[in-house]
Amino acid sequence: MTDTSSGAYSDVLGGGVIVMFGMIISAGLNMLSEVEMNRRNMIIMAVSLSVGLGLSQVPSAVQHVSGTLNTLLISGLLPTAVIAIILNLILPQED
């Protein structure tokens, strides 16, 4: 008799993870729907998402950075957040 319980648990866990990330994406889109999408905000979003996705898709761009910083940079989350915060601070508000 084979033990299939561990496979069943990983299947249920995988389904739960899919639902969890779907809820996170939905909450993020809900927050973005309340933001006025003017040119400034669209530039901030476009540049930060492009750099974050670019670094996660081309990890060799930060090949000379080692250790934990390399891992954080290719994760996509840290560069996206940092660039969005910096652009939000330096780009002038539109009236």
Number of domains comprising the chain: 2
2 pLDDT higher than 70: no
Give the domain extent around 70: 36-95
Burial 58-95 (b: 16+ CB within 10 A, else e): eeeebeeeeeeeeebbbebeebbeebbeebeeeeeeee
Regarding whether 90 and 44 lie in a shared domain, the answer is yes
3 pLDDT higher than 70: no
pTM of the model as a whole: 0.69
Regarding whether 82 and 55 lie in a shared domain, the answer is yes
Regarding whether 18 and 46 lie in a shared domain, the answer is no
Q: What pLDDT score was predicted for residue 81?
A: 93
Q: What pLDDT score was predicted for residue 10?
A: 82
Regarding whether 41 and 30 lie in a shared domain, the answer is no
Regarding whether 74 and 41 lie in a shared domain, the answer is yes
Regarding whether 46 and 7 lie in a shared domain, the answer is no
Q: pLDDT tens-digit profile of 57-80?
A: 998 888 898 889 888 888 888 999
Tokens standing for residue 1: 């008799």
Q: pLDDT tens-digit profile of 21-33?
A: 899 989 988 998 8
Q: Per-residue pLDDT averaged across 71-90, rounded?
A: 92
The tokens 């476009």 sit on which residue?
Answer: 46
